[in-house]
């Protein structure tokens, strides 16, 4: 059987524009040479191509790896929630009714989540629909705990979203209904840790949302503006936590008898806070107070581990993944990344499933990420990931190897252009080593990405003011095959979901009929 290695350059898209383009500014001799040497194309990695509502929606690593590893396009994240709200299914669900009934008499209905319309983790439109329905159901008190974005939306746009939410709440605050913002903080400071990288973030969120502990302000707008003034150059995602207080008391501690809904739909940064609310045996940090609440997530963020136990919208039922196909044919696989993207080459790649399909035929390796801001060490753990890939290539027993280099995405999210250039150049250096090892062992090499990010690092306002862009892009991503003699790229437009069938073709395995077609064909 042929052997193949697939490398995902996370967050490295393709754009003809050079302004603010860290990919174009980087020295990438390896990538440039491989593009000329091999079969190459660009792939659509956003919007409808990855199951999102429209082509105005940025792709992300989760839906990107679903498409790469599953060969099909499923309704994802925002689209799933949109459909559930529009049809009314969310509000007739057992979980929603349990939340409402629990706090109908004297409790508060709390909402926690990322306050933006980035459509990567959440959408403010979903929150507003839920608040409207909360009042319609007869609940008298709602509190919102806002996590500030500045990553999937403009870096300092928090006040705009706060204004939108406060306007919506003002329209609801009549007839005995009382809805307010209760607490908040930057998404990279509180609550939204992932992959057990920094439980201190989650504890800070718990202290802020549940205990009402932290610096107090009269309003969320005052909090953001004051904290910005005190921290020159800070962007929304890094703002410290804050609590809204009235007469010296927090307006929205989470207490016994309350209901709590996490309105984020993306799973990776929702699991840890869900465990804190939904697990009696939780021991990752001292909660101090564990209020008796009814808790639900927007989705079930981990189906295998049942996290959380109660959820509002059912996730896509992904079947017939690439890993399942390869296991059926006895293909031994190896997957590696550092902590920040380890779940993407395992859980998301395998259709949102934890664990392995086969203990015998699959091997996973996680390389712990550094706990520093990624622009301080833009090389991250790329060298270690490369060492692991080369070791797997030289081992000879793995017929399919996959790896993710997070650098272009994680450093891109910091908004630091110079650091992003280094991140891209780091990946290029690593590709040189991997390509050399692949040639020596006769391994076919595929290089692609899951979405763009570092390809647009600066944006201009209508007035011409430049500011860091930390969000993903709508640009296509590269696709390169080295060592596919006798093949050519088909004519047509393709997306990430076409990669799985391409892998199967190169390994000599027939793809399932329901998959999207391969990008290649015999000459």
Q: Could you give the residue ranges of the DSSP H alpha helices within 148-256?
A: 158-172, 199-209, 220-230
Secondary structure (H, E, C), 3-32: CEEEEEECCCCCCCCCCCCHHHHCCCHHHH
Q: Could you give the residue ranges of the DSSP H alpha helices within 231-282?
A: 271-278
Give catalytic status of residue 61 as yes or no.
yes
Partner residues linked to 246 by β-bridges: 249
In 284-396 the beta strands, taken as DSSP E runs, fall at: 294-299, 311-313, 333-338, 362-367
d(CA 53, CA 341): 24
Which is it for the CA torsion 199, 203, 209, 210, positive or negative? positive
Asked if residue 521 lies in contact with residue 496, where contact means CB atoms within 8 angstroms, the answer is no
d(CA 361, CA 342): 18
Asked if residue 23 lies in contact with residue 421, where contact means CB atoms within 8 angstroms, the answer is no
d(CA 103, CA 108): 6
Pick from 44, 41, 82: nearest CA to 63: 44
Pick from 327, 325, 349, 326: nearest CA to 337: 349
Output the six-digit token pair for 504.
């199967």
Output the six-digit token pair for 389.
């890939």
Annotated catalytic residue: which of 15, 54, 61, 116? 61
Count Cα neighbours of 106 within 13 Å in the Cβ-side half-sphere.
3
**What is the length of the chain?**
523
d(CA 11, CA 413): 9
- DSSP letter string over 383-394? HHHHHHHHHHHH
Of all residues in the chain, what percent are helix, strand and coil, respectively (each to 5)? 35, 20, 45
Asked if residue 270 lies in contact with residue 307, where contact means CB atoms within 8 angstroms, the answer is no
Pick from 523, 516, 507, 378: nearest CA to 6: 507
Q: Are strands 294-299 and 311-313 parallel, antiparallel or unpaired?
A: parallel
Asked if residue 56 lies in contact with residue 70, where contact means CB atoms within 8 angstroms, the answer is no
Q: Could you give the residue ranges of the DSSP H alpha helices within 46-112?
A: 61-70, 77-87, 89-92, 94-103
- Residue appearing with tokens 């499933």: 353
d(CA 364, CA 382): 16
- Hey, which residues are catalytic here? 61
């Amino acid at each position: 059987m042929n052997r193949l290695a697939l490398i995902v350059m996370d967050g490295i898209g393709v754009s003809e524009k050079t302004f603010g383009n860290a990919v174009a500014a980087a020295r990438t001799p390896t990538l440039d040479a491989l593009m000329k040497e091999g079969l190459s194309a660009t792939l659509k990695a956003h919007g409808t191509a990855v199951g999102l509502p429209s082509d105005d929606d940025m792709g992300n690593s989760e839906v990107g790896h679903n498409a790469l590893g599953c060969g099909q396009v499923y309704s994802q994240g925002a689209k799933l929630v949109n459909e559930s709200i529009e049809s009314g299914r969310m509000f007739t669900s057992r979980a929603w009714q349990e939340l409402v009934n629990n706090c109908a008499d004297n409790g508060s209905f709390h909402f926690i989540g990322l306050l933006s319309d980035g459509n990567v983790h959440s959408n403010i439109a979903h929150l507003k629909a839920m608040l409207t329905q909360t009042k319609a159901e007869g609940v008298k008190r709602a509190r919102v705990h806002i996590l500030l974005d500045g990553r999937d939306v403009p870096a300092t746009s928090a006040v705009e979203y706060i204004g939108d939410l406060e306007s919506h709440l003002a329209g609801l605050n009549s007839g005995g209904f009382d809805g307010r913002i209760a607490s908040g903080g930057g998404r990279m400071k509180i609550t939204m840790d992932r992959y057990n990288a920094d439980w201190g973030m989650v504890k800070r969120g718990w202290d802020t949302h549940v205990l009402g502990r932290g610096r107090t302000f009269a309003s969320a707008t005052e909090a953001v503006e004051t904290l910005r003034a005190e921290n020159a150059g800070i962007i929304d995602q890094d703002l410290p936590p804050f609590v809204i207080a009235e007469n010296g008391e927090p307006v929205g501690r989470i207490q016994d008898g309350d209901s709590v809904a996490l309105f984020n739909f993306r799973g990776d940064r929702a699991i840890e806070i869900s465990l804190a609310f939904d697990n009696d045996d939780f021991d990752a940090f001292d909660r101090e107070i564990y209020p008796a609440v009814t808790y639900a997530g927007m989705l079930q963020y981990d189906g295998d581990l049942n996290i959380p136990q109660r959820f509002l919208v059912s996730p896509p039922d992904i079947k017939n993944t690439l890993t399942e196909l390869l296991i059926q044919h006895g293909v031994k696989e190896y997957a590696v990344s550092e902590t920040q993207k380890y779940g993407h080459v395992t859980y998301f790649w395998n259709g949102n499933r934890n664990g392995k399909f086969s203990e015998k035929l699959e091997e996973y390796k996680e390389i712990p990420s550094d706990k520093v801001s990624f622009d301080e060490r833009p090389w991250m753990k790329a060298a270690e990931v490369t060492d692991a890939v080369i070791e797997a290539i030289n081992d000879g027993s793995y017929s399919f190897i996959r790896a993710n280099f997070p650098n272009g995405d994680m450093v891109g999210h910091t908004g630091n252009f110079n650091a992003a250039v280094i991140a891209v150049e780091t990946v290029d250096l690593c590709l040189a080593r991997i390509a050399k090892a692949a040639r020596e062992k006769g391994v076919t090499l595929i290089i692609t990405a899951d979405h763009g990010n570092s390809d647009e690092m600066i944006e201009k306002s209508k007035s011409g003011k430049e500011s860091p862009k930390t969000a993903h892009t709508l640009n296509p991503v590269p696709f390169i095959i080295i060592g596919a003699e006798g093949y050519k790229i088909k004519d047509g437009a393709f997306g990430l979901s076409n990669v799985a069938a391409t892998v199967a073709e190169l390994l000599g395995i027939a793809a399932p009929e329901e998959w999207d077609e391969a990008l290649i064909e015999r000459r």
